[in-house]
Structure 1
Amino acid sequence: MLHLLCCLGLICFAGIANATTTVLCVTEENRPVNFWANGKVTGFSTEVVEAVLKEIEVPANFQIMPWARAYATALHTENVLIFSIMRTSEREHLFKWVGVVSPPDSSYLFALRARKLKLDKLDDARNYKIGTINGDAREQYLESKGFVKGRHLHGNALPTTTYEKLKLGRIDLWAMSDIIVTDIVRRDGGDPSQVLVRALQLTELGSGGSYMAFGPKTDDHLVERFRKGLEVIKAKGTFAALQKKWF
């Protein structure tokens, strides 16, 4: 009987701990899904995460940081939620996946239309300098295919920096998502269809939305609360309403 009471006490304590845990939500500067504006982190995916937090009544703080640091922080620290993160085979067993928090999207190697570069297959890209974001899914994917950082791949902390290098001719190709590229070029005053071409789609990365996820040190009960909260806001129509607002 005493053993049973102790077990029940531990379960209750775990529930209380989860209920009062303050989660750190980390992301990168990537308009329009997550970015810093007017003194706070905002964007479509940010507002989805905020809706989940409100639904499950979990307090949280948001921080924007370079992607490589956000990735490492979430991977190695308890109660750190990372978004918007692509779910790939390389990452599958590294994180506890909550669910999709962004619209469907695809990744490409983009080139300046004026360059008239022609790529028929991924191997053709080995002849060019490719701009990437340090530690992101596209960079990891290209590395898994034998592309080498410093030779083929040239990493940056911000996608806007990569675009500037592309315009200056310091790189030849830009590995990035369609949504992010479209937003950056438009904010720069250009028409994406006139400035860039989708030289090659990185089809193996899929075209689904990005996720929010926790690292392995976060308790499964907390992760499950977030999963259920995300399901609820999608069922309520909150996710769809936010997508209409932002896109």
Structure 2
Amino acid sequence: MNYLKWLLLGSIFSLSGMANAQEITAYTELLTPYQILDEDNKLTGFSTAVVKTLANKVNDTVNFELLPWERAYRGVKENKNTLIFSLYRSKQREKHFKWVGKLDENIHNFYALRSNVATHIKSEKATKRLITAVISNSYEDKTLTARGYTNLMRVSNEKQVVNMLFSHRIDLLFGSEVTIANLVTEAGRSIDDIIKLVPISNWGDGLYIAFNKDSDADLVKKYQRAYQELLNDGVITKLKKQHFKFNYIAP
């Protein structure tokens, strides 16, 4: 009888878990190495792996919507119970989302060709005089514009910027070391040819997973708890090591 009792309870809990399972839409963009396409054109990368692991942990199904950033951002803001990644957490965005967990610190620096000494600036103020490439309408574009940058070369694809630097169409690259190092390597260039210059101050609190601000509280808490468990168990660190395979850029 005890065996049957526990079997029955197990079935109830199993059915309860299935009843609570949800289908979640996750909006994102391509951002090396956080969200990338593999050789089979499937979405992968560190942040993608974290979101998939989270969904599996809470028994949800996640449907990825890979879009240009502006459309992805609009999609999550317009649709309840959807999430977005990898999203910069900033003071301006704080009240517009329900935040799940941090993916990476993502400190931003300016970078130049090591051979182009004329672009080796020493201060953030000096970067405004040079031409910097940014993805059109990205967080970088909007934030630098708000800070008074007028020499921005706006592009639609992040993979363009490395060759633009080497062909001297721009003076500076701007982004996290993780992203820039991967873009340089993917372009078939050596990171030894790139120099890391000054960081930009007060950039924000890193990259996050976040839900639409009107999402159900229980849904958000479920993901927040699951994320914390993955963090405590070392799963996030393990995934980062698997996907962050690059050499650092020397100053």
Question: After the TM superposition, which parts of structure 1 deviate over 6 Å for at least 4 consecutive aligned residues?
Answer: none
Q: Measured at CA, do residues 19 and 156 of structure 1 come closer, stay the same or move farther in structure 2, by a change above 3 Å? A: farther
Equivalent-residue separation in structure 1 for 2:190 and 2:141 (angstroms) = 26
Q: How does 1:53-64 map to 2 (within 5 A)?
A: 53-64=55-66
Equivalent-residue separation in structure 1 for 2:172 and 2:211 (angstroms) = 31
Equivalent-residue separation in structure 1 for 2:166 and 2:50 (angstroms) = 33
SS at match of 1:93: helix
Structure-1 residue corresponding to 2:67: 65
Residue 179, structure 1, aligned to residue 161, structure 2? no
Residue 228, structure 1, aligned to residue 218, structure 2? no
Deviation at 1:120, TM superposition (A): 2.7
Equivalent-residue separation in structure 2 for 1:65 and 1:113 (angstroms) = 34
Deviation at 1:221, TM superposition (A): 2.1
Structure-2 residue corresponding to 1:6: none
Residue 101, structure 1, aligned to residue 106, structure 2? no
Q: How does 1:49-128 map to 2 (within 5 A)?
A: 49-102=51-104, 104-116=105-117, 117-128=119-130
Please give the per-residue CA displacement for 1:28-68, whole angstroms capped at 9, x wherever unaligned.
21222211122321111111111110111121101222122
Maintained 8 Å contact 1:36/1:64: no
Structure-1 residue corresponding to 2:6: none
Maintained 8 Å contact 2:81/2:214: yes
RMSD (Å), alpha carbons: 2.3
Structure 2 gap segments, 5+ residues each: 1-15, 245-251
Equivalent-residue separation in structure 1 for 2:136 and 2:209 (angstroms) = 19
More deviation, 78-87/235-244:
235-244
TM-score between both structures, scaled by the size of structure 2? 0.81
Structure-1 residue corresponding to 2:140: 138
SS at match of 1:57: coil
Q: How many residues align?
A: 227
Maintained 8 Å contact 1:76/1:216: no
Please give the per-residue CA displacement for 1:150-200, whole angstroms capped at 9, x wherever unaligned.
xx22222322112222222222212211101111112223221x2212232
Maintained 8 Å contact 1:108/1:202: yes
Amino acid at match of 1:204: N
* Bigger Rg over Cα: 2
TM-score between both structures, scaled by the size of structure 1? 0.83
Structure 1 vs Structure 2: percent identity of aligned residues? 26
Q: How does 1:165-204 map to 2 (within 5 A)?
A: 165-192=164-191, 194-204=192-202
SS at match of 1:128: coil
Maintained 8 Å contact 1:49/1:101: no
The equivalent position to 1:215 in structure 2, one of 206, 212, 217, is 212
SS at match of 2:149: coil
Maintained 8 Å contact 1:111/1:198: yes
Equivalent-residue separation in structure 2 for 1:44 and 1:169 (angstroms) = 31
Please give the per-residue CA displacement for 1:100-125, whole angstroms capped at 9, x wherever unaligned.
123x4321121122221132322222
Q: Measured at CA, do residues 243 and 190 of structure 1 come closer, stay the same or move farther in structure 2, by a change above 3 Å? A: same
Structure-2 residue corresponding to 1:43: 45
Amino acid at match of 1:215: N
SS at match of 2:134: strand
Q: Measured at CA, do residues 180 and 118 of structure 1 come closer, stay the same or move farther in structure 2, by a change above 3 Å? A: same
Structure-1 residue corresponding to 2:30: 29
Q: Measured at CA, do residues 96 and 135 of structure 1 come closer, stay the same or move farther in structure 2, by a change above 3 Å? A: farther
